[in-house]
Structure 1
Amino acid sequence: MARTLHDPGWWELNQPGMTQESATLVDYEDRAARITDWSPLLVPGLLQTLDYARSFMLDDGISPDEVESRLTARLRRKHRLTRGDVEYVALLGESALIGNDVIHSDQLSALADAANQPNITIRIVPTHNMPRLGRVEAFMVLDVPPATVVHVEMARSGAFLDDDAYVAPYLRRLTRLSEVALSETLSMRRILDNRDRMEV
């Protein structure tokens, strides 16, 4: 996997753990100039540590063998953020910071590290400020010139929207969430405070 991490189009090679939907998402991510994630309850996939992702997949009843193949694909997806040609913005609900174990503490440390990357912005939306529509579902907005595509997450699948009439409501939600999200500095402080409380 490490030898082919930089290979273009690796998701087209019938990789284990890659459904057609996953391959489509990776293709959009690979071509996007900007990716914006909204996740009210969990850390978004592109920022998840492998242990964090594994724990949720196993809790969801996915077989251990399938989990490991999915994690391989996830690791390759995460590598997209190390390239300088994409701007990544993550808006997280404050609930995503809550946990009480080493896995979650390590995940918050990884969030803080990611926020130090020049092309990554992480902002927290406090629970008391969260718009009602923001609580509905996680989604990702991908600016893939000349189009904008929205990926809406469901339990074990997702949907892609590219028609302006369907994309527009999600863009309005992002605008509203951005208005009430903490600044990058305050978000970093909130992440570290939550991590430090777990370590006490």
Structure 2
Amino acid sequence: MSESRSSSSAPAAPTVLRMVLGRRLRQLRERAGVSFEEAARAVEVTALTVRRMEKAEVGLRIPYLRELLRAYGVPAAEIEDFLALAREANRPGWWHTYRDVLPDWFSAYVSLESEAAVIRLYEPQYVPGLLQTPDYAAALLRVGFPNASEEDIARRVSLRLRRQELLVKPEAPAVWAILEETVLRRPVGGREVMRAQIDRLTEALDSPKIRVQIMRFAAGPHPGAYGPFHFFRFDFSELPDIVYTESLAGAQYLDQPADVVTYREVLDRMSVQAEPVARTRAILAALREEL
């Protein structure tokens, strides 16, 4: 999986459920010993169309699915269960209502974030979006979109706050963030905004599902100092761990095992080098006193 941040011609990002069903469809075809060409003939489409369905690059058309599942020997009752999930997967995610301020390349991120069981991340410059206050988010967005109107900024802040709702759901993901000390010392929006932002981080520590570690300047160089990246793990057995990386030139979604293992091992090493989670509250309090 790889999506370019700068690609404006990419199709709308799939929901996580559509990705899962695409992989299940591939598993069923392979288990039945059916080739792409044979599957394509069953529904009178090209082999490329079948490939794209399995990769979640196109919507799951119900008539095609029904015939494919029959060709794979799936029992009738299981076919109806699969089709019910497909209908749900084809519905736009809640973030679709923000498509005016949400590019397709980041829609995929929001979908992954919404369904992840575990989110681990490294941020060298700014507080992660899931933990930002409205004022902090607005200050950053004004820098990122200098020509945007206040209405547009408010809309983008609203999207960020809507994303944060997943943290209070019963099935909220476990979030483990490693932040550079720079994140807390870089002034964003002024002293009052920064104080409120540090208070928000401190409050987040009350959640048993949120862990925050600070990488102090004194820790020296570390293996993750190349840019921000986020690691997602899911409860779906069909979906592998996925890593999101971002730079000025683009963003990528990586799911190849070798790539993902590299990032996971870096996070593990960084978690040892950063200040222990038990020290985070005291560090935040000391930094707030300096403001």
RMSD: 1.9
Question: For 2:249 and 2:156, how far apart are their aligned partners in 1?
Answer: 12
Per the alignment, residue 4 of structure 1 pairs with none
Q: Which has the higher contact order (CA 8 A, sep 6+)?
A: 1
**1:63-102 deviation line (CA, Å, top 9, x unaligned):** 1343222111111111111123211111111111113611
Per the alignment, residue 166 of structure 1 pairs with 259
Q: Secondary structure at the match of 1:134?
A: coil
Asked whether the 8 Å contact 2:177–2:211 carries over to 1, the reply is yes
**1:15-38 deviation line (CA, Å, top 9, x unaligned):** 431211222111111111100111
Q: 2:225 aligns with which of 135, 146, 156?
A: 135
Question: For 1:129 and 1:136, how far apart are their aligned partners in 2?
Answer: 16
More strand by share: 1
Per the alignment, residue 90 of structure 1 pairs with 177
Which has the higher mean CA deviation after the structures are superposed, 27-36 or 83-92? 83-92
For structure 2, list consecutive stretches of 5 or more residues without a partner in the other structure: 1-91
Q: 2:162 aligns with which of 61, 65, 76?
A: 76
Which has the higher mean CA deviation after the structures are superposed, 11-20 or 49-58? 11-20
Q: Secondary structure at the match of 2:223?
A: helix
Question: For 1:13 and 1:53, how far apart are their aligned partners in 2?
Answer: 20
For structure 1, list consecutive stretches of 5 or more residues without a partner in the other structure: 1-7
Per the alignment, residue 16 of structure 1 pairs with 100
Change (3 A) 1:130 1:17: farther
**1:12-63 deviation line (CA, Å, top 9, x unaligned):** 3454312112221111111111001110121111111111111112123441
Q: 2:125 aligns with which of 17, 41, 47?
A: 41
Q: Which has the larger radius of gyration?
A: 2
Question: For 2:248 and 2:94, how far apart are their aligned partners in 1?
Answer: 25
Question: For 1:190 and 1:112, how far apart are their aligned partners in 2?
Answer: 10
Change (3 A) 1:88 1:97: same
Given the two structures, how large is their TM-score scaled by the length of structure 2?
Answer: 0.61
**1:127-147 deviation line (CA, Å, top 9, x unaligned):** 221544322101110102331
Question: For 1:172 and 1:131, how far apart are their aligned partners in 2?
Answer: 16
Q: Secondary structure at the match of 2:244?
A: strand
Given the two structures, how large is their TM-score scaled by the length of structure 1?
Answer: 0.87
Is 2:153 aligned against 1:67? Answer: yes
